[in-house]
Amino acid sequence: MGERGITLVELMVAMLLLAVALIGLAASFPLSMYGVTGGGLQTVATGLALEVVEQARRTPYATLSTLDTGGSAVAVSGYPGFTRQVAVAGYDPGGSYSPPAACDPCPCTACTSVTVTVFFTGQQGEVTTTVSTVIGQ
């Protein structure tokens, strides 16, 4: 006996399987958008931090302390929802660092650390991005 076509039950099962697959796919879109949006915000925050690091590199060494925000986060103009905190401090390599014998004086005695922290609110709450650099005299 040859069968021709499909039965109504087979068609209903195929439609049910297709519906389950499409619902699963549709449910993944909001999660994907959160990831893309969060990545974009993180990229902006990193760019804002690197902007201050580049500014610090162009600043004369004696006036680096003028970049320090005194421990408070300052709003970034043109970027609503982003704040930035800059800390300028003497650099201490810590750990087991010992300068080579040929270094006289130690190059680290004339170094300053510039740390920039950018704060913003993402889908999962407040997010921070920190970039640090060491600038020598």
Residue 71 lies in a domain: yes
Please list, in sequence order, all residues whose beta carbon lies within 8 angstroms of the beta carbon of residue 114, skipping any fewer than 6 positions away: 52, 53, 56, 64, 67, 86, 87, 88, 132, 133, 134, 135
Query: Which class for 45: exposed (0-12), middle (13-18), buried (19 or more C-beta within 10 A)?
Result: buried
What residues make up the domain containing 103? 8-136
Chain position carrying tokens 């130690």: 106
Residue 1 lies in a domain: no
Specify the pTM: 0.72
pLDDT in tens, the chain (137 residues): 556 778 899 999 999 999 999 998 898 888 888 888 888 999 999 999 999 999 999 999 889 999 999 999 999 999 999 999 999 998 877 655 565 555 555 555 678 899 999 999 887 789 999 999 988 87
Residue 2 lies in a domain: no
Residue 124 lies in a domain: yes
